Amino acid sequence: MNMKNISAKAGRVFAAAMIAGTILACGAAEASSLPPTLYGARVIGHRGASGSAPENTMASFKRAYELGADMFELDIHRAADGVLVIIHDDDTERTTGVPGKVAEMTSAQIAALDAGSWFSKDFAGEPIPTLRQVLDWAKDKIQVNIEIKSAGCEEGVVAMINEFGMKDKVIVTSFEHSFLKKIKEMDPEITTGALTRDIIDLGDIDKIIEACAPDALNPRYIMANKKVIRRAQERGLSVNIYTVNDPITMNRLARDGANGIITDHPDVLIEVLKKLKTKGPDSEAEETAK
């Protein structure tokens, strides 16, 4: 079993699943070492559960797990000593109040910063974790989406996924598709997902496949319509859409067949999907906002 099956699991077409009672996964059998999702689309917490805890911290990842997310997304950079650390920006100032380039700081210097107080005093002292710390905690609990933000992380990511035996629980994503190509060259069994901000026409999907042969397409929600979702799925990709916090948009994307939805609020998405499952694919989007 590998993560391609999990990626395929997310590939179900929601409306058909509700009508036929069959989970579709881009033609492949669904498999997972974790309990199957109950909701149709995969629930993916953005930077953990960043609507209720400081982004990219253990508190946020644990919150996503507690809320029932299938997976959480995180961002990685490489510190000066080669350690992979969990932070979105290439500078520490926004989430810690202390300016500094991640690539020029050691992991010890980064770990000493307070990444929680900016969000709430309740999270004062929350540190910036390392990828090793997160995977060690998550390996028997929840799936992880690792987004590579900067060059030089690829070898460490591949090594750590293999060390923790998490090929069936991790997807590696990036806007830099050359990073994904390198990941596939090092280990073709690791699942990758191509992030994209813009899809000008459906032919752009084929260009992405040619560039890095990903297993998933992760488009921005504004660009994700039914035609984009279907074309990607026809090409054998699962489609995970970011970052969706509006219940009406969540409802639309699930009904359009999204394989996964990335959100700051996993609990809100779960409620939307529960209502869809109960009422069926023809339920009105407005009902989800009630």
DSSP letter assigned to residue 37: P
Whether 88 is catalytic is yes
Confidence bin at 281 (pLDDT 50/70/90): low
Flag whether pLDDT at 213 surpasses 50.
yes
Q: Which two tokens stand for residue 223?
A: 């660009």
Whether 272 contacts 31, CB under 8 Å: no
Whether 265 is catalytic is no
pLDDT at 9: 39
Flag whether pLDDT at 1 surpasses 90.
no
Whether 218 contacts 242, CB under 8 Å: yes
Q: Annotated catalytic residue: which of 46, 77, 177, 265? A: 46
Least confident of 90-99, 116-125, 186-195, 198-207: 198-207
Contacts of 153 (CB under 8 A, 6+ apart): 76, 77, 78, 84, 179
pLDDT at 277: 87
| Domain definitions of the chain by residue range | 3-289
Confidence bin at 283 (pLDDT 50/70/90): low
pTM: predicted TM-score of the whole model, two decimal places: 0.86
Pairwise CA distance, residues 45 & 240, whole Å: 12
pLDDT at 200: 80
Confidence bin at 11 (pLDDT 50/70/90): very low
3-state secondary structure 218-250: EEEHHHCCHHHHHHHHHCCCEEEEECCCCHHHH
Dump pLDDT digits (tens) for 223-272.
999 999 999 999 999 999 999 999 999 999 999 999 999 999 999 999 99
Q: Which two tokens stand for residue 107?
A: 């992991």
Flag whether pLDDT at 59 surpasses 80.
yes
Flag whether pLDDT at 220 surpasses 50.
yes
Dump pLDDT digits (tens) for 142-192.
999 999 999 999 999 999 999 999 999 999 999 999 999 999 999 999 999
Q: Which two tokens stand for residue 158?
A: 């591949």
For domain 3-289, give the CATH number: 3.20.20.190
pLDDT at 73: 99
